[in-house]
């Protein structure tokens, strides 16, 4: 029997038709090979983070089940971003505006630290715009390093703000 991995993804857009980019991401995630889309949050409008002035974001989260290993999945996510108009990594402005951003937040209880891939996402526990949509669809997902649920992490951010 093939083992299916549960993966939580963060999704954001603040350039072009933001809702259309999120809907396209949802459609494409559901068509990835060896993958099923389990859930997709509603969109949350959030202010941008970082030093660059830009439009507000629409952020969402998705839960998928897949046999794809993290590097392969990341490659597919980068293809989806590129197809929606995202620049290749070398041409991007760090924390700049983007039509679509797809991040692997959690992959089962795995901890991965490679040059181009860190799981869990290294800043997810500090970002309400990541945790709020994820808490809607995967509140009991556990951060494998902090050993806290998404709900608990989101509550900590809310208490601190």
Residues labelled catalytic: 86, 98, 101, 103
Tell me if 10 sits within 8 A of 121, measured CB to CB.
yes
Torsion, Cα of 139, 125, 46, 133 (10° steps): -20
Work out the angle between the directed axes of helices 150-160 and 128-137 (0-180°, nearest 10): 140
How far is the C-alpha of 68 from the C-alpha of 116, rounded, in Å? 17
How far is the C-alpha of 122 from the C-alpha of 17, rounded, in Å? 28
Max Cα-Cα span within the chain? 49
Work out the angle between the directed axes of helices 18-29 and 70-83 (0-180°, nearest 10): 140
């Amino acid at each position: 029997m093939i083992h299916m991995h549960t993966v939580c993804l963060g999704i954001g857009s603040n350039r072009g038709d933001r809702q259309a980019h999120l809907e396209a991401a949802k459609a494409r995630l559901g068509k990835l090979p060896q993958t099923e889309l389990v859930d997709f949050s509603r969109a949350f409008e959030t202010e941008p983070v970082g030093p660059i002035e830009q439009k507000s974001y629409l952020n969402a989260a998705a839960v998928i089940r897949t046999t794809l290993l993290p590097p392969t999945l990341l490659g597919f996510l980068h293809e989806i971003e590129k197809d929606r108009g995202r620049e290749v990594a070398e041409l991007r402005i760090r924390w700049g505006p983007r039509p679509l951003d797809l991040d692997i937040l959690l992959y089962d209880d795995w901890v991965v630290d490679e040059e181009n891939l860190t799981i869990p996402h290294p800043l997810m526990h500090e970002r309400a715009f990541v945790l709020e949509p994820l808490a809607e669809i995967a509140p009991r997902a556990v951060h494998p390093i902090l050993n806290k649920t998404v709900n608990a992490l989101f509550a900590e951010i809310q208490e601190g703000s």
